[in-house]
Copies of this chain bind each other. A is one copy, B any other.
Amino acid sequence: MTDADATAVVDCYQDLRDRLIHAGVLIGSTVKGLYGKGAAFVHVFDGLDALVTEAGQVDQPELMRFPPLLPREHFVRTDYVRSFPDLIGSVHSFLGGDREHAALLQTLADDGPWSTELDPTELVLVPAACYPIYPTISGILPRGGRTFDVLGSCFRHEGSDDPARMMTFHQHEFVHVGTPESALAFRNRWLERSQILMKSIGLDVADEVANDPFFGRAGRMLAANQRGDALKFEVVATVANPEKSTAIVSCNCHQDHLTIPFGINTHDGGVAHSACVGFGMERIVLALFARHGMDLELWPREYRSRLGV
Residues of A within 8 A of B (CB): 27, 29-31, 34-39, 41-42, 62-69, 71-74, 76, 81-82, 85-98, 101, 104-105, 108, 113-116, 118-123, 125, 132, 135-136, 153, 155, 157, 159, 166-168, 215-218
Contact A86 B76 (CB under 8 A): no
Number of copies: 2
Chain B residues whose CB sits within 8 angstroms of the CB of A66 once the complex forms = 27, 36-37
Q: Which residues of B contact A98 (CB under 8 A)?
A: 216-218
Whole-angstrom distance between the alpha carbons of A76 and B110 in the complex?
12
Cβ distance A21 to chain B, nearest Cβ, rounded Å: 11
Residue in B81, B118, B136 whose beta carbon sits within 8 Å of that of A36 in the complex: B136
A65: chain B residues within 8 A (beta carbon): 36-37, 41-42
- Report 5 cross-chain contacts, Cβ distance below 8 Å, ordered by A residue: A31-B123, A67-B153, A68-B68, A116-B119, A116-B120
Does A86 contact B92, Cβ atoms closer than 8 Å?
A: no
Bound CA span A271–B248, Å: 44
- Could you tell me the distance in whole angstroms from the C-beta of A146 to the nearest C-beta in chain B? 13
Chain B residues lying within 8 Å of A216, measured Cβ to Cβ, are: 97-98, 101
Cross-chain contact A38 with B63 (CB below 8 angstroms): yes
Closest 9 pairs (CB-CB, A-B): A115-B120, A67-B168, A85-B94, A39-B63, A93-B157, A98-B216, A36-B66, A37-B65, A90-B92
Contact status of A85 and B72, CB under 8 A, knowing A37-B65, A63-B39, A98-B216: no
- Contact of A104 with B90 at beta-carbon distance under 8 Å, contacts A35-B67, A39-B63 already known: no
Smallest CB-CB separation from A121: which chain B residue? B157
The smallest beta-carbon distance between A105 and chain B, in angstroms, is 6
Tell me if B167 and A123 are in contact (CB < 8 A).
yes
**Chain B residue at smallest Cβ distance from A88:** B93
Decide: A81 and B105 in contact? CB cutoff 8 A: yes
Contact A118-B135, Cβ < 8 Å, known A81-B105, A98-B216, A155-B69: no
Say yes or no: A71-B29 contact (C-beta < 8 A), given A38-B63, A93-B90, A136-B36.
yes
Known pairs A71-B34, A123-B31; A114 contacts B153 (CB<8 A)? no
With A88-B118, A116-B120: A135-B29 Cβ-Cβ less than 8 Å:
yes
Give bound CA distance, A161 to B81, whole Å: 30
| B residues less than 8 Å from A89 (CB atoms) | 91-93, 121, 123
Task: Give A95 to B42 CA distance when docked, in angstroms.
Answer: 33
**B90 touching A34 by the CB < 8 A rule?**
no
Contact assessment for B93 and A86 in the assembled complex, using a CB-CB cutoff below 8 Å: yes
Name the B residues within 8 Å of A74 (CB-CB). 30
